[in-house]
Structure 1
Amino acid sequence: MKRNQLKLAVIGGGSSYTPELIEGLIRYHDVFPVAELYLVDIEAGWNKLQIIGELSQRMIDASGKPIKLHLTLDRREAIRGADFVTTQMRVGMLDARSRDEKIPLKHRLIGQETTGAGGFAKALRTIPVILDICREMEELAPEAFLINFTNPAGMVTEAVNKYSSIKSVGLCNLPISTKMQIAELYGISQSQLFIEMAGINHLNWTTRVVIEGKDMTEDFLRRLSGSKSLSMANIPDLEWDSAFLQSLGALPCAYHRYYYMKEEMLREIMEQYKNEGTTRADVVKHVEAELFELYKQPELNEKPAQLEQRGGAYYSEAAVQLMKSIYNDIGDIQTVNVRNSGIIACLPDNVTIEVNCVIKSDGPHPIALTKPLPPQIRGLLQVVKAYEELAVEAAVHGDYHAALQALTIHPLVGDEQIAKAVLDDILKENEPYLKQFHAQKA
């Protein structure tokens, strides 16, 4: 791939994250020359798309970069002839996220948008829409790369890899954020730091920390023990126990708190919901409302600092770094979601994992792990990956039985009667978005 004028289609262009992406496209335009930028959304998101479009145009104008911006509701127009397609959408919008978080709480389960029963509901709504986009890409832009930022990113990427022929890479800002935070902890630049990450999206472990060629993993875990650090804006920042970290021998990602500190996390979420009647979705609604008021200001021509409160910090770094590395055949190392193909030996070859990859013009090439994953990591990983495999099949085929088994084996559900009650609630509350299940009933 080496075109001098690239076409990029952003599905979900009215997202509050988009200014992050615009900032990255401007910063790296000399080495990633996007000439045609299409921001696409649905009719219900047209107002937000217009606000985002006006801010994006001001940012482009201020930069002087030759990027032609298009706003459209016509997804096919945006995809036709594209070099890259990015997806950053939320099927059902924030109201659906609110339901995803509150349905589990009704059954005294953790309610979170990408993890557990909430993430399962989001996957059921999202995967069919992503596969529709893939079919349009197969027809209109068969050589394009799909860069998926839509959660749950790992399951979405797995569905695409199993049910589409397009080139796809799943992306999350958590790995790049983790590397930045570790570099800051040691007071070094990222170029001096290498970290090995292994697992699946929102369930990965940092298994090695190497600074200028010296393995600092044990030192790093000692520094981190008992500290409130290396979390994300959308996750309660609870302390890691020193003995636990030492016995694990790796840094769990921020989302591991839902598994390793399940009761404490549930208690905190339940107390917030009981006392304030809110979940993270309600906080995000408030943050987004403030952001869009900022975005409307005619003098604003850059990404506002307040966007980091949204949980999307470093989105442009992750997304644009990946695309420019593919475009320029750079061969640098990034942590992305790809087909396993034997990299993690304890998982099937055809599932999606999140690991370090060398990024070339034909996409990511996974790097072999330094050593096999130990049982304390392998056990949880295998169970959650089995859940994901079942959840993907349920989402694609409307398979109630696969859905029931997925929730039953998930560590944050784990009871067949509760799993059935939660599943029935999810299907009822999301009925307009789950036509695949209607077809099975018919």
Structure 2
Amino acid sequence: MSGNRLTLVGGGGVRGPLFVESAAMRAEELGLEQITLLDVDEHKLRLLGGVAAHLARGHSDVRVTMTTDVREAFEGADFVVTTVRVGGDAARVTDERIAARHGVLGQETTGPGGFAMALRSIPVILRYAELLAERSPRAWLFNFTNPAGLVTQALRDAGHERTVGICDSANLAQHAVAAAHRLDANDLRPEVFGLNHLSWARAVRDQQGHDLLAPLLTDPGFRATTLQRFFPAELSELCGMWINEYLYYYYYFAEKAVAHTGAESAGRGREVARRNADLLKELARVGPGQHRDAVAVYRAYEAGRRSTYMSYAEPDSSVAGERTLGEGSEGYAAVALDLMAALTGGPARYCAANVPGEGRLDCLAPADVAEISVVADGTGIRPLPIGAVPEPQAGLIRQVKLFERLTVQAVAARSRRLAVQALMAHPLVVSFSRAAALADDYLAAHRDHIGEWR
């Protein structure tokens, strides 16, 4: 029997080599025969794909191929991971600038920045899903293209049922608790609820049902070595749960994030764009065949990029990008690969992912995609019961889900009116005047990617 085939859409992206290395390390567990890197940018695919292939060879004999042909990449695929940035780094910089001009946060997955990214991402990912359904209808699609939950909602609404949204942030509580207690993360049962980049972990239980998270949340040592350090102890006590780090932007310190980004001459988008351009220039200088030198260049780049993560939350600290308790180097790859292992007959996996809640989360409709605890095994991926959650969290979840739903509808209808309504619904925008101005600016700025809207 032939082995499994995995395709990475956006395989010429800067995180591609890390994903391929992680997959190669687990090739035997996953029964992997081939990893295909697909990208529309042949230059980036050649440079970063070369690094990825060399890293893979250090761990297994899995075959790594590269192509710009979508149909070729999807033929015979068992798993597809989508991680694309429509419009490239330039579009991200534009998104941030427009948001800043209107006095709101431009972070790329939340608020107006996430809205603008969704306008570009959803049509492209839907087209990929349609082609995958034609070529390999039994394949699973793991969406990491941002905004991951919103894009996954669009995929599910379009009938692509073998689709799951993945995000490493949703699983940090589980892994931090596992590291603190020296346990295997899969021996724990997390209780995660919310939306992508808008979620909380109310408990992380052992197999006897004891919550191991609550005592750690009041431990200063634990907090200092996890991303919970972004939030003061008073807030953690008020909330009583692990807080997804992106809630810093949304809810708990929005005005500070806006003030910090407004004071900068360049947002993180420009910084990342500069780093990415420098990486490609340096890899081109090293040239083909110099694999060790290329890997060294890439490793240095990756360490530098991590140093800018969540810099808004710790602008004066040198620890913003340091590795924290429970945070492994595999990142989102670990979530996807764990789920793949379970789907291919390995032990059942417990984690958090973005799937329809199916009534397991009281504040959302059954078809609403939630970031929620799931169990995966050979039969599929299923949400676990969460039930009722505190009203402060439930109210914010409902409000942002309204924004997501309206955004999906706006993209489907290419409707400016629905775009304005979506932005008005978002808690970081709220006013009609600001929403209308943002919608007009984003629709004009990205016309080449999204076409004309009514």
Sort the Cα spacing of 1:138 and 1:205 in 2 relative to 1 into closer, same or farther, 3 A: same
- Within 2, Cα distance between the matches of 1:32 and 1:192? 20
- Within 2, Cα distance between the matches of 1:409 and 1:351? 16
Sort the Cα spacing of 1:387 and 1:224 in 2 relative to 1 into closer, same or farther, 3 A: farther
- Within 2, Cα distance between the matches of 1:178 and 1:291? 32
| The one of 55, 58, 62 aligned to 2:54 | 58
- Within 2, Cα distance between the matches of 1:226 and 1:270? 32
Indicate whether 1:339 and 2:334 are aligned. Answer: no
Q: What is residue 156 of structure 1 aligned with on the other side?
A: 151
**Equivalences, count:** 423
Q: How big is each residue's C-alpha offset from its partner over 1:190-216, in whole Å with a ceiling of 9 and x where there is no partner?
A: 356443211111000011133574324
> Do 1:135 and 1:164's aligned partners in 2 also have CA atoms closer than 8 Å?
no
Stretch moving more, 19-28 or 422-431: 19-28
Q: What is residue 325 of structure 2 aligned with on the other side?
A: none
- Within 2, Cα distance between the matches of 1:135 and 1:115? 27
Stretch moving more, 165-174 or 216-225: 216-225
C-alpha root-mean-square deviation of aligned residues, in Å? 2.4
Indicate whether 1:242 and 2:219 are aligned. Answer: no
Stretch moving more, 326-335 or 258-267: 326-335
- Within 2, Cα distance between the matches of 1:76 and 1:192? 39
5+ residue gaps, structure 1: 232-236
Sort the Cα spacing of 1:204 and 1:224 in 2 relative to 1 into closer, same or farther, 3 A: farther
5+ residue gaps, structure 2: 310-328
- Within 2, Cα distance between the matches of 1:408 and 1:238? 31
Q: What is residue 62 of structure 2 aligned with on the other side?
A: 67
Q: Shift of residue 69 of structure 1? A: 2.1
Q: Shift of residue 228 of structure 1? A: 5.5
Q: What is residue 19 of structure 1 aligned with on the other side?
A: 17
Indicate whether 1:323 and 2:340 are aligned. Answer: yes
Indicate whether 1:144 and 2:136 are aligned. Answer: no
> Do 1:134 and 1:164's aligned partners in 2 also have CA atoms closer than 8 Å?
no
Indicate whether 1:132 and 2:120 are aligned. Answer: no
Q: Shift of residue 34 of structure 1? A: 2.0
> Do 1:193 and 1:212's aligned partners in 2 also have CA atoms closer than 8 Å?
yes
Indicate whether 1:380 and 2:372 are aligned. Answer: no
> Do 2:85 and 2:145's aligned partners in 1 also have CA atoms closer than 8 Å?
yes
Indicate the SS of the match to 1:135.
helix
Indicate whether 1:28 and 2:50 are aligned. Answer: no
Higher-RCO chain (CA-CA 8 Å, sequence separation at least 6): 1
Indicate the SS of the match to 1:254.
coil
| One-letter amino acid matched to 2:259 | R
| The one of 221, 232, 242 aligned to 1:251 | 242
Equivalent runs, 1:329-368 vs 2, <5 Å: 329-368=346-385
Sort the Cα spacing of 1:109 and 1:431 in 2 relative to 1 into closer, same or farther, 3 A: same
Indicate the SS of the match to 2:30.
coil
Indicate whether 1:167 and 2:162 are aligned. Answer: yes
What is the TM-score with the length of structure 1 in the denominator? 0.89
Indicate the SS of the match to 1:30.
helix
Sort the Cα spacing of 1:219 and 1:61 in 2 relative to 1 into closer, same or farther, 3 A: closer
- Within 2, Cα distance between the matches of 1:229 and 1:423? 40
- Within 2, Cα distance between the matches of 1:188 and 1:362? 26
> Do 2:186 and 2:350's aligned partners in 1 also have CA atoms closer than 8 Å?
no
Sort the Cα spacing of 1:8 and 1:142 in 2 relative to 1 into closer, same or farther, 3 A: same
Indicate the SS of the match to 1:337.
strand
What is the TM-score with the length of structure 2 in the denominator? 0.87
- Within 2, Cα distance between the matches of 1:67 and 1:128? 32
Stretch moving more, 335-344 or 175-184: 175-184
Q: Shift of residue 117 of structure 1? A: 0.2
Q: What is residue 314 of structure 2 aligned with on the other side?
A: none
| One-letter amino acid matched to 2:291 | P
| One-letter amino acid matched to 2:9 | I
